[in-house]
Amino acid sequence: MLAKSEIQQEAMNLPAHERIELVVELWDSLVPGEIPVPDWQRDLIRDRLAALDDILPEKRSLPWEAVRKRVFPDRT
């Protein structure tokens, strides 16, 4: 079995598109329970979800046209 450093070195020699494919395949191979989530991130998510609860449903979303104008102001 190859050591992690050997695998990493071999991966770095791949063309960019193959390295991207490798990253995607590695990411997709992870099971959600295997990904550690620090407490501070859980707290942040909890806080943001709680803040959303305080916003009226009609204020939580925008029509696509309004989003497009915000994201692409020079393309109106």
Q: Given this model, what pLDDT does residue 37 score? A: 92
Could you tell me the residue range of the domain that residue 63 belongs to? Answer: 37-76
Q: Given this model, what pLDDT does residue 76 score? A: 57
Quote the pTM value.
0.50
Q: Given this model, what pLDDT does residue 46 score? A: 94
Pair (54, 21) in one structural domain: no
Pair (44, 31) in one structural domain: no
- How far apart are alpha carbons 47 and 39 in whole angstroms? 12
Which tokens in the block code for residue 63? 């029509």
Pair (43, 75) in one structural domain: yes
Pair (44, 67) in one structural domain: yes
The model's pLDDT over 22-63, given as tens digits with 9 standing for 90+, comes to 999 999 999 988 889 999 999 999 999 888 887 877 777 888
Pair (76, 61) in one structural domain: yes
The model's pLDDT over 14-29, given as tens digits with 9 standing for 90+, comes to 999 999 999 999 999 9
